[in-house]
Amino acid sequence: MKLKFLIFGFFLISALASAQQEAQYTQYMYNTANINPGYAGSRGALSALVMHRNQWVGLEGAPVTNTLTIHSPLGDNSNFGLGFSVVNDKLGPSDENVVSIDLSYTIPTSENFKLAFGVKGSADFFNVDFNKLKIFNPSDNLNRKNIDNRFTPNVGAGVYWYSNKTYIGLSIPYMLENSYYDNDIQYVASDRMHFHAIAGHVFDLSEDLQFKPAVLTKIVKGAPLQVDLSASFWFFEKFSIGAAYRWSAAVSGMAGFQLSDSWLIGYAYDKDTSRLGNFNSGSHEVFLRYELFKKYKKVVSPRFF
């Protein structure tokens, strides 16, 4: 147990020294609203998603993320979309809650494609319970009073170009670089802007089989380039199975079930390919999405993103 804690402590200190990382998702293609505010309202229906991610199972203090996202177009013929999300991210002694509101405006660029511009406003509530740390040196500077609901605002923006079969997006969800763990003299960690690029396409292989590759690229100063590649097959528009690869980090298996026109459930399992994989039994991620369609607007050809 001590070995696992020391490994986690080394990882945590390394991460905080370089950047305050955003929550990580394997099934990002279903949770796009948290990455890109331009996605808000793009599905043409009231869409609600809950997602739970338990990362690096068996490693003490590893990240646990819970997400709620709701978004919808504003009116039947409106070009505006509105979204709301709450993300709870726990990592070691820290507990962070981010509440966000997204607003998008969409214009048609051709018969099949639309371009959406989105802005995000968020409130971050940050907590640290230093009593959860094992302090080996009583004079350590971290042996101090806890941080309780430290509030920091943030803003973000994104563009999202899409059709029923294709999407491309660019975004910066959080633009302000706020500092954390300050000791009245200097800080030892801060947020960094994360630049996201996403893309995906659905290929019709037959009437009952679709192939959907997707990619997410994340760039942040002080951290390695992150590239997530995924590919899945949809059978009879009801069941999907696929795989993903996070560059130099993990391989994943994914599955999804379209339970009805409104309900979609999905699961992903990640296996670390780095040395950290020797000290955990992988990561689990599950989501449930509900969509409320008006009878005359029910999706005839389902969108797979």
DSSP 106-160: EEE-SSS-EEEEEEEEEEEEEEE-GGGS--SSTT-TTSS--EEEEEEEEEEEEEE
Strand ranges in the chain using DSSP code E only, listed in sequence order: 46-54, 64-73, 80-91, 94-108, 114-128, 147-162, 166-172, 179-180, 189-190, 194-201, 203-206, 209-220, 226-235, 239-246, 250-258, 263-272, 283-292
Give the C-alpha separation, 94 to 64, whole Å. Answer: 11
127-174 pLDDT, tens digit per residue, is: 888 777 776 666 666 556 778 888 999 999 999 999 999 999 999 999
pLDDT of residue 82: 97
pLDDT of residue 140: 62
What tokens does 231 get? Answer: 């590919």
3-state secondary structure of 298: coil
pLDDT of residue 103: 97
Strand partners, 102: 83, 120
pLDDT of residue 124: 93
Alpha helical stretches, state H, the chain: 2-18
CA triple 225-231-236, angle to 5 deg: 155
Domains and CATH numbers, the chain: 25-291 (2.40.160.40)
* Nearest in space to 241 (alpha carbons), one of 249, 226, 252: 252
Question: Is the distance from CB of 217 to CB of 226 less than 8 angstroms?
Answer: yes
98-118 pLDDT, tens digit per residue, is: 999 999 999 999 999 999 999
pLDDT of residue 171: 96
pLDDT of residue 154: 94
pTM of the predicted model as reported, rounded to 2 decimal places? 0.85
pLDDT of residue 10: 41
pLDDT of residue 236: 93
- For the chain, list residues with pLDDT below 70: 1-21, 135-144, 179-191, 294-304
pLDDT of residue 278: 87
Per DSSP bridges, beta strands 179-180 and 239-246 are: unpaired
